[in-house]
Each structure stands twice: as C-alpha cells, then as structure tokens.
C-alpha cells in the first residue's frame, strides 16, 4: 500500500474536501495535512504551481484536484468504468472548476468593489453555471450526474452547493440555488444522506 499525504486548507470545503471524502470511501488511510492560510503563504513557493491541494504519493508531488479526485475515486469505486459515463463525470467536475475560477476573481476585493463584483457574478456566471449543473443532473436522470449512482462528480458538486447554501460567500444569496435549481438542492440533500458521505463525517466527529 502506498502512502498518501493531502495538503489543503483546514476547512470542510473547496477543492480538497471531495478528495478527503473519496479517500475515506476507498478505505485508504492518508495524512490529512491541513494548513492555515498563513502556513500556505509561507510554504506555497515550494509547491509546483504555488497552489493547493497537493497530493504526495510516497514522496511524489501531484497537483490538480480533479486528477486527484479521479485517481482516488477509481480506487473507491466512485468513478464510472463506461467511457461515456466517465465523460459525463469529467464534464461535471471540470465545470465546477470553471465556476471556482470565476469566484476566485472576486477574492481580495473589499467593500463596494466586492459587493459589485459578487452581484455581477451572481447574475452572470453563477446563474449560468447553476442552470448548467441542473441541466447536467437532468441528463444523468435527475438523481446523479453520471452512471445512475454516486460518483466523484456528485461529491464535488455537493461540496460546492453546500458551501453556497451555507453562505460562505459574502453577497451571494443563500437561496440562490434554491431559486434557480431546486433539483440541485434535492441532490445536495441526497448526497449528504449517502452512506459514503455520512460515514466520512461520522469519522470526523
């Protein structure tokens, strides 16, 4: 068995959390290396792309959260074997990344500038992506994004929708997803109840 260490921020969201859930689902122990923002700033220049998450497989540094999620997801049985379903799964995960990139553009802004940027984001990219995720969910049959079962795509979207509905982004209404895509809310609640996900959070309690 290889040794794994996942370096990411110390919160239950973002790009690192789906990988942690997938590791737990796979029954693979890993060093859950949680760092503060201050530690990140001190150490980021030593990271290949100066970003987290970073996964160390033995002592090999690997970046890119979706690649990690596919790798661990395969070991957990949470990645489709069928090529078309794998394509649907990948499309969904890539779309989450694209949305996150749009959100990142508003980080570091303050006051009126932040408010204006977030309002523009809500009416623009966020609306586009939330409706797009709804569309992808319907294509998957309405309950899951691919393979008619839980995959890493569901876990990735679940983490983001939960975070949006929890109000982690200032000036983004907590009922935005509820208003635009009730099916995505039902999906978030379904995935939160999934034994794979509940087992992970019970292990953290």
Contact set with ligand GSH (CB under 6 A): 14-15, 51-53, 63-66, 97
Give the Cα-Cα-Cα angle 72, 158, 203 (nearest 5 degrees). 60
21: which 2 tokens?
Answer: 């859930």
**DSSP result, 162-194:** HHHHTT-STTS-TTHHHHH-HHHHHHHHHHHHS
88: which 2 tokens?
Answer: 């649907």
Shortest Å distance, C-beta 108 to ligand GSH? 9
Describe the crossing of helices 152-165 and 17-26 by its angle, rounded to 10 degrees. Answer: 140
Nearer to ligand GSH, 49 or 141 (CB): 49
Nearer to ligand GSH, 98 or 170 (CB): 98
Shortest Å distance, C-beta 40 to ligand GSH? 7
Mention every residue, 6+ apart, whose C-beta is less than 8 A from residue 190: 143
Nearer to ligand GSH, 55 or 86 (CB): 55
β-pairing verdict for 31-35 and 60-62? unpaired
Nearer to ligand GSH, 10 or 97 (CB): 97
Shortest Å distance, C-beta 163 to ligand GSH? 12
Shortest Å distance, C-beta 164 to ligand GSH? 15
Shortest Å distance, C-beta 142 to ligand GSH? 28
Nearer to ligand GSH, 64 or 163 (CB): 64
Nearer to ligand GSH, 15 or 165 (CB): 15
- Contact in structure between 85 and 147 (CB atoms under 8 Å): yes
Neighbouring C-alpha atoms within 13 Å toward the C-beta of 162: 20
120: which 2 tokens?
Answer: 């523009």
Q: How many helices and strands, by DSSP H and E, does the chain display?
A: 10, 4
Shortest Å distance, C-beta 66 to ligand GSH? 6
Give the residue closest to ligand GSH by C-beta: 51
């Amino acid at each position: 068995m290889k040794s794994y260490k996942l370096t990411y921020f110390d919160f239950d969201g973002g790009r690192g959390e789906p990988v942690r859930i997938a590791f737990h689902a796979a029954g693979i122990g890993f060093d859950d290396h949680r760092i503060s923002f201050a530690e990140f700033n001190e150490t980021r220049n030593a990271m290949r792309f100066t970003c987290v998450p970073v996964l160390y497989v033995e002592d090999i540094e690997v970046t890119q959260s979706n690649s990690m999620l596919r790798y661990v997801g395969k070991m957990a049985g949470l990645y489709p074997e069928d090529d078309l379903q794998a394509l649907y799964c990948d499309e969904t995960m890539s779309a989450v990344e694209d949305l996150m990139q749009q959100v990142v553009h508003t980080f570091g802004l303050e006051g009126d500038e932040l408010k204006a940027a977030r309002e523009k984001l809500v009416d623009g990219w966020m609306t586009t992506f939330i409706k797009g995720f709804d569309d992808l969910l319907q294509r998957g049959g309405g309950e899951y994004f691919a393979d008619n079962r839980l995959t890493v795509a569901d876990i990735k979207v679940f983490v983001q929708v939960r975070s949006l509905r929890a109000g982690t982004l200032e000036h983004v209404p907590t009922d935005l997803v509820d208003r635009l895509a009730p099916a995505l809310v039902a999906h978030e609640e379904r995935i939160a109840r999934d034994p794979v996900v509940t087992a992970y959070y019970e292990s953290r309690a």
